Structure 1
Amino acid sequence: MSLQKDQEFLTFTLGEENYALDILTVKEIRGYESVTKIANAPPFIKGVINLRGDIVPIVDLRIKFNVGQATYDEFTIVIVLHIHNRIVGIVVDGVSDVVSLNKDQLRPPPDFGVAFDSRYLLGLATINEQMIILVDINELISSEEMGLFSSHENDVA
């Protein structure tokens, strides 16, 4: 995904870091609710919820990237995403703002120093003197390591 002119991103926090993802992937933002556990799922997949008839896997990015404290209370946030015609929820520490960025504001991702593989990063941006890590959420959620999609689904754009 290359950054288009003045693209909007939803910013969120994981631990001490600020992240952002493409606002067009966001279906809704909601509080955490109890999930139905899935046997043999990796620890970062908390389970599934029934969201108006859709079975939605819930991924805790705090556990996946080993950042932040994985607590579940009335303040826990789930960002519900629509990716590759599937709905997935991600648990984050908090949602901050919607920001508009253009490619001139973007810096290349570092090879180290962030919680996850740089192939899932679009780059870094500074907003109000805060560093924001732009996540390629489509690439991350549909990656084989997440195991949420079968490999042939990844090939469909």
Structure 2
Amino acid sequence: MADIDAWVWWLIGAAALGIPLVITAMPELGMLSVGAVAGAVTAGLGGGAVLQVIVFAVVSCALIAVVRPIAVRHRNQQPQLATGVEALKGKQAVVVERVDGAGGRIKLGGEIWSARALDGDATFEPGRQVDVVDIDGATAVVI
């Protein structure tokens, strides 16, 4: 084992960190893996063992300090493109059959939907435009 160069050991370490990254999806392991690749490059360029470890530590810590907060912020962000039921909220629709607190029908996105008024006392006559505020099952709640 003494005849294997240090840069090979660093690459083995990078691969060893990459395997759990794929299994667990922990981005920190990927950042440590990149640090190990930086250590391999340092070893390949002739840097001593202490310099290799310092480069590994600095690159790994820098990536964790810079990339991790960005990744966490991105992961916690709401999707910008609404799909499904969420995409229908806030859309305008046209009343097809009288809509009140008990029910009715609207034309929403080219389709006929059952609807009810958010305010139980409100009524909307055919031809009137209404706003969809929520979808309750297969019923649009309108104002």
Q: TM-score, normalised by structure 2?
A: 0.28
Greater RCO structure (CA 8 Å; 6+ sep): 1
Q: Which has the larger radius of gyration?
A: 2
* More strand, by proportion: 1
